[in-house]
Amino acid sequence: MEQIKTIILNKKEYKITENAYFLIQDYLNYIEKTERTQETVLEIEIQISIILDMELDPKGKSKIIEKKDIEELISVLKENRNIKYTPPRRLYAKNRIQKKFKNKRIKNKTGFKRKQSNNILGGVCAGIGEWLNIDPIFIRILFIVAAFFKGFTIPVYIILWVVIPSEKQILRV
């Protein structure tokens, strides 16, 4: 039996099978990479939502969207928008998914750390920035602004500096 997932498109929830979920995710990733503007991506997402609404039961009963529904949807969109998308031949074999998650676990095993390469004062903001995938300057500005309005951020920064291991300490282990 196939697992059922929930996907949100155009602020609506749809129940979808696992294979269909991976297929539509792959298609949406392709669209995000190839389209120049975010508006076009949003238009395509709205079109997908409208087509899925037409597929669903008009009485509002929830239908589980299957892989064949998504394949039809993709073929309609490819024809209407002249998109040159080709779905992967073997769509997400279980081994591939398991390897992907194992690699993520290994990558994140080091956890949160203070950066030594891009540090100004201790590397706390640089570490937070890397962990959140944000430029450290934004974290530094946030800490400075918060220090002016609420004085508790300076002790918090010092505590983080002491508690969070540095990059060098993690590499030694």
What predicted TM-score, i.e. pTM, was given to this entire model?
A: 0.47
| E strand map for the chain | 4-9, 12-17
Query: Nearest-5° angle of CA 152, CA 158, CA 162?
Result: 145
Same domain, 24 and 100: yes
Integer Cα distance of 119 and 126 in angstroms: 6
Integer Cα distance of 12 and 79 in angstroms: 24
Q: Residue 59 falls within a domain, yes or no?
A: yes
Same domain, 128 and 165: yes
Query: Would the pLDDT of 110 be above 70?
Result: no
Q: Residue 118 falls within a domain, yes or no?
A: no
Residue 106, pLDDT score: 43
Q: What is the pLDDT of residues 15-58, one digit of tens each?
A: 888 888 888 888 888 888 887 788 888 888 888 888 888 777 66
Same domain, 48 and 100: yes
Same domain, 79 and 138: no
Same domain, 68 and 32: yes
Provide the domain limits for residue 135: 124-172
Average pLDDT of the residues of the chain: 76
| pLDDT above 70 as % of the chain | 73
Same domain, 93 and 142: no
Query: Would the pLDDT of 173 be above 70?
Result: no
Same domain, 12 and 97: yes
Residue 108, pLDDT score: 42
Neighbour-count burial of 44, counting CB atoms closer than 10 A to its CB (0-12 exposed, 13-18 middle, 19+ buried): buried
Residue 1, pLDDT score: 65
Residue 30, pLDDT score: 84
Residue 109, pLDDT score: 45
Residue 60, pLDDT score: 54
Query: Would the pLDDT of 124 be above 60?
Result: yes
